[in-house]
Amino acid sequence: MKVNTNSNPDARGYFGAFGGRFVPDTLMAPLIELEKAYNELSQKQSFWDEFASLLKNFVGRETPLQYAQRLTEHLGGAKIYLKREDLAHTGAHKINNAIGQILLARHMGKTRIIAETGAGQHGVATATAAAAFGMSCVVYMGAEDMARQEMNVFRMRLLGAEVVPVHNGSKTLKDAVSEAMRDWVSNIADTHYLLGSALGPHPYPRIVRDFQSVIGREAREQILEHEGRLPDSIVACVGGGSNAIGIFSAFINDTNVNLIGVEAGGTAIKPGQHAARFSGGKPGIFQGMKTYILQNADGQAEQTHSVSAGLDYTGVGPEHSMLHDLKRASYAYAYDDEALKAFHLLARLEGIIPALESSHAIAHTCKIAKGLGKNHLLIVNLSGRGDKDIGIVQKYSGEKK
Ligand SMILES: *Cc1c(COP(=O)(O)O)cnc(C)c1O
């Protein structure tokens, strides 16, 4: 089936059968305002020039595309390159989207930024961008997550953000999203909701995809420079789906390039023990979008689990659901213990401590590399660095002993 590069959603915000805008009336006005503002701003070259300049001078782009020689030799198959998003300012790809949306907020005349965060990575990226633009920043975070991620709470506060604990529901990410939406409805005039992944109601999936697509554009140029041809496969982890759609987007029209998303297999593909929406989920409606979600027979959201907080989410960005159903991308999963193994492997073979999220992409690469043969070029999107995860890895190693 023909798929357009950077295919935009239709006027109702649908990517194929997925996406849309399933929100209460009160949220329609700010979403329409946002959509109009983005449609206007994204037509202006001056906007993209300013964004590019910030990505260079503040974020430190472009990030390298590095040949992972020792990993390649160790696995004995595909030639593996790493797209080093771990080297971006604040240690992951999330800052690309945060900077893009801050510019959008400024264009709309907003002076107050709100965001949700799970483990705190998106909160830190948002607090960073808000500080750099002199905007006030409120981050909603589940009380449970705040207790688990104290260092990121402190980091956000150092950057001048107010971190508000959310005590509703499971006191985690999805409750923080709901709380941020509640705030937005009451403060539309001066507030922009800076959503952290390529999901939620239209127009967020498209906006976030566009801001993350710099990863794919760079990787495409870089692999052509290194190898004189396009890669055979691209592997990226999929939480909400922003780093994956960011790198996939530049290759969607190149149907010879395999696009492989890797979800969190947790401890088992059984209800409540994983977050692999394409292995255990089915289409439904969740937090403003129609997409694959993990749900019980009544359509209620299932509990999820992953060793990696960034992949631990019930729904997935709607463009991935479209790519899945078109079979343009395939979606695998890696278990917690496979990701942990990959974490250690990359640290020892390449001197890079990857985020536990990114470790899922490495783990899947470990499974397939040998079977692919030496002429196969494979790019792994290394979405972030693993300093934030050292405590979790240490705890896990202790439990295993
Ligand atoms: C948040 C995060 C992810 C998951 O989010 P996506 O939107 O799926 O990219 C992956 N890797 C890192 C390092 C993250 O911080």
| Known catalytic residue at 302 | no
Q: What per-residue confidence (pLDDT) applies to 400?
A: 60
Residue whose CA is at the smallest distance from ligand 1 atom 1: 310
pLDDT at residue 364 greater than cutoff 70: yes
CA distances from residue 268 to 272, 334, 340, 392 in whole angstroms, order as listed: 9, 10, 15, 19
Q: Peptide bond before 62: cis, by omega within 30 degrees of 0?
A: yes
Provide the pLDDT confidence category of residue 48 given band limits of 50, 70 and 90: very high
Angle made by CA atoms 252, 37, 195, in degrees to the nearest 5: 65
Residue-wise pLDDT for 377-392, tens only, equals: 999 999 999 999 999 9
pLDDT at residue 3 greater than cutoff 60: no
Order of all β-strands in the sheet with 191-193: 162-166, 136-142, 112-117, 191-193
φ, ψ for residue 201 (rounded to 5)? -70, 150
Residue whose CA is at the smallest distance from ligand 1 atom 2: 310
Which residues have CB under 6 Å of ligand 1? 92, 94, 121, 197, 237-244, 310-311, 355, 357-358, 383-384
pLDDT at residue 64 greater than cutoff 80: yes
pLDDT at residue 4 greater than cutoff 70: no
Residue whose CA is at the smallest distance from ligand 1 atom 3: 310
Average pLDDT over residues 243-254: 98
Average pLDDT over residues 6-28: 93
Q: What per-residue confidence (pLDDT) applies to 144?
A: 87
Q: What span, in angstroms and rounded, lies between the C-alpha atoms of 274 and 303?
A: 8
Residue-wise pLDDT for 193-218, tens only, equals: 999 999 999 999 999 999 999 999 99
Q: What span, in angstroms and rounded, lies between the C-alpha atoms of 259 and 235?
A: 6
In contact, 194 and 64? CB cutoff 8 Å: no
Residue 245 C-alpha to ligand 1 middle, in angstroms?
11
Provide the pLDDT confidence category of residue 271 given band limits of 50, 70 and 90: very high
Q: Which atom of ligand 1 lies at the shortest distance from residue 196's CA?
A: 7
- Counting runs of H as helices and runs of E as strands, what totals does the chain give? 16, 14
Provide the pLDDT confidence category of residue 6 given band limits of 50, 70 and 90: low
Residue whose CA is at the smallest distance from ligand 1 atom 5: 239
Question: Would strands 14-15 and 18-19 be described as parallel, antiparallel, or unpaired?
Answer: antiparallel
Q: Which of 35, 62, 85, 116 is catalytic?
A: 116
Q: Which atom of ligand 1 lies at the shortest distance from residue 86's CA?
A: 13
In contact, 375 and 365? CB cutoff 8 Å: no
Q: What per-residue confidence (pLDDT) applies to 245?
A: 98
Q: Nearest CA to 117 among 72, 85, 149?
A: 149
Residue 25 C-alpha to ligand 1 middle, in angstroms?
30
φ, ψ for residue 277 (rounded to 5)? -60, -35
Query: What share of the chain has pLDDT > 70, as a percent?
Result: 98
How crowded is residue 253: how many other Cβ atoms within 10 Å of its Cβ? 14
| Known catalytic residue at 383 | yes
| Known catalytic residue at 186 | no
Q: What span, in angstroms and rounded, lies between the C-alpha atoms of 190 and 184?
A: 9
pLDDT at residue 5 greater than cutoff 50: no
pLDDT at residue 2 greater than cutoff 50: no
Joined together, the tokens standing for residue 52 give 């590019």
pLDDT at residue 109 greater than cutoff 50: yes
Q: Which of 83, 94, 110, 290 is catalytic?
A: 94
Q: Which atom of ligand 1 lies at the shortest distance from residue 212's CA?
A: 9
> Given ligand 1 and candidates 243, 308, 356, which is best to mutate, with the most ligand atoms within 8 Å of its CB?
243
Residue 92 C-alpha to ligand 1 middle, in angstroms?
8
Query: What share of the chain has pLDDT > 90, as a percent?
Result: 92
Q: Which atom of ligand 1 lies at the shortest distance from residue 122's CA?
A: 1
Residue-wise pLDDT for 319-329, tens only, equals: 999 999 999 99
Residue-wise pLDDT for 253-264, tens only, equals: 999 999 999 999
Q: What per-residue confidence (pLDDT) applies to 279?
A: 97
The mean of the pLDDT values for the chain is 95
Average pLDDT over residues 146-153: 89
